[in-house]
Structure 1
Amino acid sequence: MTQSTADPFAGVYPAMCTPFHDDRSIDFETLRTDARRLESAGVDGLVPMGSTGESATVSHDEHIEVIETVVDAVDVPVIAGTGSNNTEEALSLSQRAASAGVDALLLIAPYYNRPQQRGLQEHYRTIADAVDLPQIIYNVPSRTGRNIDADIVVDLASHEHIQGYKAAGGDLGQIGEIIERTHNEQFAVLSGNDSETLPILSVGGTGCISVAANIEPRRMSALVGAALAGDFARARQQHQELGPLFRTLFVETNPVPVKTAMELRGDGHGRLRPPLAPLSEEHRAQVESVLSAYDQPTQEAVSD
C-alpha cells in the first residue's frame, strides 16, 4: 500500500474490469476473486464501474450489483463510478452506490450532449449537494467530447464533498494549474492515464486510477510509492520498466487490451459486451510479448 500523504485520495486505485460469462451475463465470482487479488497485492482502493468496467453497457441494476459485490469482497476503500450524461441518472446511481456502502464516487463529465462549462459546474454541484460522500471529478475529453476548464475544477474544489480530480485529458499544463490552485484545499489530483502518472506526481499529484494496475499492481504501487516518498530516481526506473505495458494496453480501445492481458495471466476473461469487439490477433501477440517481460518481477518491484 502506497498511501503516504494527508490528501483524501493517495496511492494506486485499479480501474477494475467487469468479467462476463459466455452468455455475457456478469461473472460475479470472478469479480470477487479479482477484487481480492488486487487487495492482496497492496493497492490503496478499487474503482469498479468506470470506463474500464464497461459501465456504458450494463443496466443500472447490474451497475449497483457489481459495486455491492466489490464492497462486500474487500476491506480497502471502494470508489464507485456513478457518472452519466443525465444529471438525474448520475444522481440516482450515486445515491444507490452510497446505500451500497461505497467510500467515494467517481463522476465522469457528461458525455455526448457536450454541456457548457456552467452546465458542468451545476451537474457536479447538484450531486455533491445531495450525496454525503467524497466525490472525484473525472475529466476525459477523448470520451466525453468536452474538457472541464481549470476554473470550473478550482471552483468545485471548494465544495466539501468534491475532494478529487481524475486527470485523463493529457494537458499537463492544465493539470499543473489545477494542482497549484487547489493545494490549500482538501483536494487530490489523480492521474487517469498511466503514462502520465509520474509527470503528474512530479508536480504534486497524489496517485492514479490505473488500468495497468490490473496487470502489475505491485509495480504500479512501487512507482507511486517511490514518487510520494520523493525518490524520483526509483520512480523513474519503474516508469520506464512499465512503459511498454502502458502503451500496449491502449493499442485498441480500453478495456479490450487489458481484458485480454488479464485472460492471458489467468486473472479474468477477455469477453466483452458489444459494441466492443475482441482484440485483433496482431495486437494479442503484442500483449503476449509485453507480458512475458514481466513474468519474473524484480525484487525491487515487489518489496513494497
Structure 2
Amino acid sequence: MAIFEGAGVAIVTPFKENGEISFDKLDELIEEQIAGHTDCIVSMGTTGESATTTEEEHLEVIRFTCERVKGRIPVIAGTGSNCTKTAITLSEEAEGAGADGVLLVSPYYNKATQNGLKAHFTAVANAIKIPAVLYNIPSRTGVNIAPQTIVDLCRDVPNIVGVKEASGNFSAIAEIMQLSDGAVDLYSGNDDQIVPLLALGGKGVISVLSNIAPRTAHDICEKFFQGDLEGSRKLQLKALPLIKALFCEVNPIPVRAALNLMGKQVGVPRLPLTEMEPAHQELLKKEMEKFGLL
C-alpha cells in the first residue's frame, strides 16, 4: 500500500526576520494545508531549504511537523544526503520522530555510479523500518537514477517503495512503469506534469504548487482517480501559467515570495538563495491574481 495517494505538499520552512526558523508560522502552514485537503506533508525537502539548514534544525523541523500533524495525514521526511552515513542518521531520527516515510534524494555532487546508488539507498533503507521513496532530480543533483536501478531497488529492498520523478523524461518514466509491473509507487516531482504521470500509473504528486493552492493540486489527482479525466486535465492546464511563474527562478525562491504576497510572512530565503527579482515577482503576482489567490 502506498504511503499516500494524491497531492503531498513539499512544505516551505518559514523563517523569522533574523533568519531563525519560525515554528509558530510552520504550525499555521501545516494547519492550512490539512484544511486545504493536502494528502501528505513532505517536510525538509528542497522546498523546505534542507540544503541551508543545519542537521539540528533539519531534525527539529521534522520532529515538530510529526508532533503537529498527529497522524491526521502521512508525514514524509526528506532525509537524503550525498553522505550515506548522514542520510542514515537523518532517516533513523525521522523514524524515531514518527515520520511515516522518508524521501531520499540521489546523492548530489558525488555523481555515483548506478551500483553506487544501489549500495547507498540500500544501506539507508536497511537502517530503518519505515518506507522510503527515492527522489530523482538530475538537473539539481548531477546524477540520474536509471529506470532499471529504480525498479531493482523497489523489488529487492522491502521498504523502498517508490520514486518521486522530477527528471521530466517521460520515456524513462514510462520505462520504469513498464519494467516494474506495479512494484514502484510513482509520484510526479513536477507540478506541470501531474496528469500525464498519473496516466502512466502514478500515485500522485509531491508538489510545490500545493503550498499556495493545496485544493487545486489535490483535486487534479482526485478527479483523475475518480475517472473525471476531463476535469483533471482542465485543472492541470488552468494551473500551468501559475506553475510556470512558480519556477521562473530556482525553487523555493518564487514559492516563498508567493506565500509572502499572500500575507503568510514566511521570510526570505537563506543565502546563497536571494529574494526574487522585482520583474519576476510582478509576473508571479499577476498570475496569482488571475488564479484568485490575491
TM-score for both structures, normalised by structure 2:
0.96
Q: 2:15 aligns with which of 11, 20, 39?
A: 20
Alpha-carbon offset, residue 296 of structure 1? 6.9
Q: 2:234 aligns with which of 237, 247, 253?
A: 237
Q: 2:161 corresponds to which letter in structure 1?
A: Q
Identity value in percent: 38
| Residues 221-232 of structure 1 mapped to structure 2, 5 A cutoff | 221-232=218-229
Runs of 4+ in 1 over 6 A off after TM superposition: none
> Is 1:135–2:132 an aligned residue pair?
yes
Equivalenced residues, count: 291
Question: Residue 9 of structure 1 contacts residue 188 of structure 1 at CA under 8 Å; is this kept in 2?
Answer: no
The aligned counterpart of 1:35 is: 30
The aligned counterpart of 2:64 is: 69
Distance between the aligned counterparts of 2:293 and 2:250, measured in 1? 28
| Residues 1-304 of structure 1 mapped to structure 2, 5 A cutoff | 7-74=2-69, 75-158=72-155, 159-185=157-183, 187-295=184-292
SS at match of 1:242: helix
Distance between the aligned counterparts of 2:265 and 2:34, measured in 1? 15
For 1:178-222, what per-residue CA distance to the aligned partner results, in whole angstroms no more than 9, with x for missing partners? 12222332x310000101111101111110000001111111111
Question: Residue 80 of structure 2 contacts residue 87 of structure 2 at CA under 8 Å; is this kept in 1?
Answer: yes
For 1:39-83, what per-residue CA distance to the aligned partner results, in whole angstroms no more than 9, with x for missing partners? 111111100100000001111110011011111111211000000
The aligned counterpart of 1:302 is: none
Distance between the aligned counterparts of 2:93 and 2:133, measured in 1? 17
Which structure 2 segments of 5+ residues have no match?
A: none
Alpha-carbon offset, residue 268 of structure 1? 3.6
Q: 2:112 corresponds to which letter in structure 1?
A: P
TM-score for both structures, normalised by structure 1:
0.93
Distance between the aligned counterparts of 1:274 and 1:7, measured in 2? 36
For 1:163-183, what per-residue CA distance to the aligned partner results, in whole angstroms no more than 9, with x for missing partners? 110000010111111122223
Q: 2:42 corresponds to which letter in structure 1?
A: V
Distance between the aligned counterparts of 2:11 and 2:269, measured in 1? 14
Question: Residue 156 of structure 1 contacts residue 162 of structure 1 at CA under 8 Å; is this kept in 2?
Answer: yes
Question: Residue 9 of structure 1 contacts residue 164 of structure 1 at CA under 8 Å; is this kept in 2?
Answer: no
Distance between the aligned counterparts of 1:143 and 1:283, measured in 2? 21
Q: Aligned-pair RMSD on alpha carbons?
A: 1.3
SS at match of 2:135: strand
For 1:224-251, what per-residue CA distance to the aligned partner results, in whole angstroms no more than 9, with x for missing partners? 1111222211111001110111101100
For 1:73-109, what per-residue CA distance to the aligned partner results, in whole angstroms no more than 9, with x for missing partners? 1121100000000000000000011111100000000
Alpha-carbon offset, residue 130 of structure 1? 1.3
For 1:8-52, what per-residue CA distance to the aligned partner results, in whole angstroms no more than 9, with x for missing partners? 431100001111111111001101110111011111110010000
For 1:128-157, what per-residue CA distance to the aligned partner results, in whole angstroms no more than 9, with x for missing partners? 111101000000001100000111001001
Alpha-carbon offset, residue 263 of structure 1? 0.7
SS at match of 1:157: helix
Distance between the aligned counterparts of 1:45 and 1:9, measured in 2? 7
Distance between the aligned counterparts of 1:81 and 1:179, measured in 2? 24
